[in-house]
Amino acid sequence: MNRSASLSLAVLLVLPAAFAAAHPATAASPHLVPAAARQSAPSFTLTDVQGKTVSLAQFRGQVVLLDFWAVDCGGCKIEIPWYVQFSHDYRARGLALIGLDMYGESPAVIRAFMAKAHMDYPVAVGTDAIGHRFGVTALPRTLLIDREGRIAAAHTGIVDRAQFQSDIRALLRGD
């Protein structure tokens, strides 16, 4: 390898590390919307499948993972165990989860699924209007909402588990 190629390769290897050191929030969470560009999440209030009122506003001050899902959604069945684990791992640090079932399944069907999946966070039956306000065009659709109630990330389809976990950690740090 000639000297010029060696120098180019060295620059390519060193620059990303230098950028990451100088900009840790950006390097750690490139998929998050920059804080200054985040939009407020639309509000909603619903009754969850346990009969309790759940609203996005009640979780202000926490990082919220808002999951639009359904019992019969294949991708949702892949993600939900990850979300249950995230809830257990990060609840004490300020992570809250809310699930909105978008297929209109009965509360009894949803509760049975929740029991099997060990879902211990609020789940309500969503509405088309709420889905529209959050850009739900397909399931699963998952959003991360920062402590100020602004949308920091939105993903349709199966999330990248490691990336979402990294994004959750970044939001919990205040990035």
- pLDDT tens for 35-54 read 999 999 999 999 999 999 99
Q: Is the pLDDT of residue 174 over 70?
A: yes
User: What is the number of structural domains in the chain?
Assistant: 2
Percent of the chain with pLDDT over 90: 82
Report which of residues 38 and 12 the model is more confident about. 38
Q: Residue 65: beta bridge partners?
A: 97, 144
Dist. CA 57–CA 7, nearest whole Å = 53
The CA–CA distances, whole Å, from 107 to 26, 79, 122 equal 41, 20, 12
Same domain, 4 and 73: no
For range 120-139, the mean pLDDT: 97
Q: What is the CATH number of the domain that holds 67?
A: 3.40.30.10
Query: Are residues 114 and 46 part of one domain?
Result: yes
Q: What is the mean pLDDT of residues 154-162?
A: 97
Cis? peptide before 140, omega within 30° of 0: yes
Q: Do 64 and 135 reside in the same domain of the chain?
A: yes
- 129 and 156 inside one domain: yes
In this prediction, residue 89 carries a pLDDT of 98
Average pLDDT for residues 96-118, to the nearest whole number?
Answer: 97
pLDDT at 107 over 90: yes
**Among 75, 95, 92, 88, which Cα is nearest to 168's?**
95
Same domain as 93, residue 20: no
Domain limits for position 149: 33-173
- Output the pLDDT for position 175: 83
pLDDT computed for residue 30 by the predictor: 67
